[in-house]
Amino acid sequence: MTIDSIHNGYVIDHIPAGSAMALYTHLGLEKLGCPVAMIMNAQSKRMGKKDIIKIDGDLDLSLDVVGYLAPGATVNVIRDGTLLEKRTLDLPEQLTGVIRCRNPRCITSTERDLPAAFRLTDREKRVYRCVYCEAKYEK
């Protein structure tokens, strides 16, 4: 794979340095058959250092996951060799099925097929609270 010549896929740029691996895992990229290139600690005028992920494949990319794990990242959507869309992502207001509630008294710990859902309650402090029990998410 020539990392600069993606035909159909994504280039996730401006990932805070050190976050690419977590993104790789949470996006489930290891389960994909398509080529994925990761660039760590690239030079960035704006950020000093940054990570970049290039995905050569048409998948349903979860923008919530990217926004949550790498706020400020830019997602470039490439279709038929051209840049279709470029979006800078911020922390999503709602986060469903991405992180799990750690409160053992929460209904999401026992109810079948109930994806954990969180709401951003403080953007500045990056606080997410469980929609069900309202517990603060602690990493």
Partner 1 sequence: MRHLINILDLTVPEIDALIRRADDIMARPEDYWDACAHKILATLFFEPSTRTRLSFESAMLSLGGQVLGFSEAASSSAAKGESVADTLAVVSGYADIIAMRHPKEGAPIVGASHSLVPVINAGDGGHYHPTQTLTDLLTIHHVKGSFNGLTIGLCGDLKFGRTVHSLIGAMSRYENIRFVLVSPEELKLPSFVKQEYIKDRGIEYIQSQDLESVLGDLDILYMTRVQRERFFSEEEYLRLRDSYILTPEKLKLARPDLAILHPLPRVNEISTEVDRDPRAVYFRQAHYGKFIRMALILMLLEEAAK
Enumerate binding residues for partner 1 (CB under 8 A).
Answer: 103, 105-114, 130-135
Cα–Cα distance, 111 to 108 (Å, whole number): 5
Q: Does 27 bind Zn ion (CB under 5 A)?
A: no
Of 6 and 130, nearer to Zn ion (C-beta) is 130
Binding positions for Zn ion, 52-111, rule CB under 5 A:
101, 103, 106
Q: Does 132 bind Zn ion (CB under 5 A)?
A: yes
**Residue 139 binding result from Zn ion, partner 1, none, given CB thresholds of 5 to 8 Å by partner type:** none
- Residue 128 Cβ, how far from Zn ion at the closest point, in Å? 11
Instruction: Please tell me the count of residues contacting Zn ion according to CB under 5 A.
Output: 7
In the sheet that holds 127-130, the strands lie side by side as 94-96, 117-122, 127-130
Of 46 and 112, nearer to partner 1 (C-beta) is 112
- Residue 132 Cβ, how far from partner 1 at the closest point, in Å? 3
Which amino acid makes up residue 55?
A: I
- Per-residue burial over 8-33, b = 16 or more CB atoms within 10 Å of its CB, e = otherwise: bbbbbbbbbeebbeebbebbebeeee
Q: What is the CA radius of gyration of the chain?
A: 16
Evaluated on CA atoms 123, 128, 133, 134, the torsion sign reads: negative
Q: Which residues of this protein are in contact with Zn ion, per CB under 5 A?
A: 101, 103, 106, 130, 132-133, 135
